[in-house]
Chains A and B, each alone.
Chain A
Amino acid sequence: MRPTDQIKNYFKNVHVKTNPKVNRAILDDLLDRLDAAKGRRKHALQPNIWRRIMNHKATKPTTAAAAVLIAGAVIFSLLAAPGVTLADVIKPIFEAKTFAYDMHVGGEDHPAMRDLVSGNRIRRTMPDMPNMVLIIDTDAGKLLRLDTAGKNASIINISGEVERGGRNYIGFLRETITRLKADPNTVQKKPFYRQLDGRKVIGYTIGNDLEGKDRDRVTILADEKTGVPVQIDLEWGQENFVLKNMEFDIPVPEDQVSITAPAGYKMQKTDIDFSKLSDKDLIESLRVWATYLRDDGTFPPQLLKQEFIKQMPLFREKVGSLPIPDAEKEQLGKYYLQGMMFLQICYTGKMDSHYAGAGVKLGDAGKAIFWYRPKDAKTYRVIYGDLSVKDVAPENLPK
Chain B
Amino acid sequence: VLEDKLLVWKVKRGDKKALQRIYEKYKDDMLRIAAGLLTEPSAAEDAVHDVFINFIGALETFSLTGSLRGYLTTCVANRARNLNRSKTRHREVGLDRIETFDSRIPRPEQWLLDDEAFRQFCNAMAELPYGEREVVILRVQGQMKFSTIAAMQETSVKTVMSRYRYGITKLRSLLNGEVSK
Chain A window 35-70, contacts with chain B (Cβ cutoff 8 Å), 1 for yes, 0 for no: 101101000010110011011000010110010000
Min distance, Cβ A4 to any Cβ of chain B, angstroms? 6
8 Å CB interface, A243-297 against B = none
Report the bound CA distance from A186 to B60 in whole Å.
16
Q: Which residue of A lies closest to B143 (CB)?
A: A8
Q: Which residue of B lies closest to A54 (CB)?
A: B109
Q: Within the complex, which residue of B20, B50, B82, B179 is in contact with A6, where a contact is CB–CB below 8 Å?
A: B179
Residues of A contacting B78 with CB < 8 Å?
A: 184-185
Q: Are B42 and A7 in contact (CB under 8 A)?
A: no
Segment at the B interface, from A14-22, A139-147, A316-324, A374-382: A14-22
Min distance, Cβ B2 to any Cβ of chain A, angstroms? 22
Q: Are A11 and B45 in contact (CB under 8 A)?
A: no
Report the bound CA distance from A19 to B111 in whole Å.
5
Q: Is the interface of B mostly helix, strand, loop or mixed?
A: helix
Q: Are A45 and B111 in contact (CB under 8 A)?
A: no
Residue B141 CB within 8 A of the other chain: yes
Q: Are A208 and B82 in contact (CB under 8 A)?
A: yes
Residues of B contacting A52 with CB < 8 Å?
A: 46
Report the bound CA distance from A212 to B91 in whole Å.
12
Given contacts A7-B172, A19-B113, A45-B56, contact A54 B118 (CB under 8 A): no
Residue B53 CB within 8 A of the other chain: yes
Residue B49 CB within 8 A of the other chain: yes
Q: Are A184 and B56 in contact (CB under 8 A)?
A: no
Q: Are A23 and B14 in contact (CB under 8 A)?
A: no
Residue B85 CB within 8 A of the other chain: yes
Q: Which residue of B lies closest to A214 (CB)?
A: B85
Residues of B contacting A213 with CB < 8 Å?
A: 89
Q: Are A16 and B109 in contact (CB under 8 A)?
A: no
Chain B window 14-28, contacts with chain A (Cβ cutoff 8 Å), 1 for yes, 0 for no: 101001100100011
Q: Are B79 and A185 in contact (CB under 8 A)?
A: yes
Residue B8 CB within 8 A of the other chain: no
Q: Are A17 and B113 in contact (CB under 8 A)?
A: yes
Query: How many A residues touch B, CB cutoff 8 Å?
Result: 53
Q: Are A33 and B56 in contact (CB under 8 A)?
A: yes
Q: Are B112 and A214 in contact (CB under 8 A)?
A: no
Residues of A contacting B179 with CB < 8 Å?
A: 3, 6-7, 9-10
Min distance, Cβ B27 to any Cβ of chain A, angstroms? 7
Q: Are B50 and A15 in contact (CB under 8 A)?
A: no
Q: Are A31 and B19 in contact (CB under 8 A)?
A: yes
Residues of A contacting B108 with CB < 8 Å?
A: 54-55, 60, 62-63, 66
Residues of A contacting B27 with CB < 8 Å?
A: 18, 23
Residue A149 CB within 8 A of the other chain: no
Min distance, Cβ B103 to any Cβ of chain A, angstroms? 16
Residues of A contacting B111 with CB < 8 Å?
A: 18-19, 22-23, 26, 51
Q: Are A27 and B79 in contact (CB under 8 A)?
A: no
Interface residues of B (CB under 8 A from A): 11, 14, 16, 19-20, 23, 27-29, 31-32, 35, 42, 45-46, 49-54, 56-60, 75, 78-79, 82, 85-86, 89-90, 107-113, 115, 117-118, 121, 136, 140-141, 168-169, 171-172, 175, 178-181
- Identify the 8 closest CB pairs spanning chains A and B, nearest first: A6-B179, A16-B28, A17-B113, A38-B14, A22-B111, A14-B121, A48-B49, A10-B179
List, sorted by A's number, 23 A–B pairs whose CB atoms are closer than 8 Å.
A6-B172, A7-B171, A7-B172, A14-B117, A16-B118, A17-B112, A17-B118, A19-B111, A21-B109, A23-B27, A23-B111, A26-B52, A34-B14, A34-B59, A37-B56, A37-B59, A51-B111, A66-B108, A185-B54, A185-B79, A187-B53, A211-B89, A214-B89
